[in-house]
Amino acid sequence: MIIIGKVYKYGDFINTDVLYPGKYLNITDPQEMKLHALEGLDSEFVKNFKPGGIIVAGKFFGCGSSREQAATALKYAGVGAVVAESFARIYFRNAINQGLPIVVCPKVSEFVNNGDEIKIDLKAGILDNLTQKKSLKFTPLPEFIMGILLSGGLIPYLKAKKSYAERV
C-alpha cells in the first residue's frame, strides 16, 4: 500500500478536542463530521485541505479523550494518512478501526516541511520526501493491521472474514 500526498504539518500533543471539538459529538453523519475536522486547531483546514493530503505531526498525536470521531472526521475529510512521531494508543487503534492509515515515524517532524510531497510505502516501511529527495525508515504495520486498512476498516474486515468463513 503506497500513499502519496502533500504534507499538512502540525506540532506535538494534538489532542482529540482540537481534532474534532466536543460540541459536534452529537453529529453521526460522517459527511457532516468531516466539515469540522481539525476545527479546534486550524479553522481553515477543511477549506484549504486537498483530499489525499497527509497530516504529519510530532509527539503524542490524538491524546485526550477516546472519541473515535477524531479519526472518523479525518478519514471522511479525505486524509490519506497520519504520520507522527508517536500516538496516543486509543487514537492509534481508533484510526486503524476506521480504516485511516497511521504511521509511527520517529523524527518525521524534522524530516518534512509543510507543503512537501511525500510517499509512504506502508509495507516496506519507507517514507520518501519527494520534495527534498530523501528517505526515512519506519517500522511497517503488521500484516493483520494492513488487512484492516485494505478492507476500509475493522467492520468491513470482519464482515469479509465472516462471509469467507460461511463459504468454507
Separation of alpha carbons 73 and 22, rounded Å: 12
Handedness of CA 148, 150, 155, 157 (dihedral sign): negative
Separation of alpha carbons 98 and 76, rounded Å: 10
Contact between 69 and 90 under an 8 Å Cβ cutoff? The reply is: no
Count of beta carbons in the 10 Å neighbourhood of residue 39: 18
The pLDDT of residue 35 is 97
Chain CA centroid to CA 24, Å = 20
Q: What is the DSSP letter of 51?
A: T
The pLDDT of residue 164 is 64
User: What DSSP line would sit under 111-130, residue for residue?
Assistant: H--TT-EEEEETTTTEEEET
Handedness of CA 109, 115, 117, 123 (dihedral sign): positive
Chain CA centroid to CA 142, Å = 16
The pLDDT of residue 163 is 76
The pLDDT of residue 21 is 95
Q: 93: which residues sit within 8 A by CB, 6+ positions away?
A: none
Residue pLDDT tens, the chain, 168 long: 899 999 999 999 999 999 999 999 999 999 999 999 999 999 999 999 999 999 999 999 999 988 999 999 999 999 999 999 999 999 999 999 999 999 999 999 999 999 999 999 999 999 999 999 999 999 999 999 999 999 999 999 999 987 766 775
**Phi-psi sector, 23: left (phi>0), alpha (psi -120 to 50), beta:** alpha
- Domains with residue ranges and CATH for the chain: 2-167 (3.20.19.10)
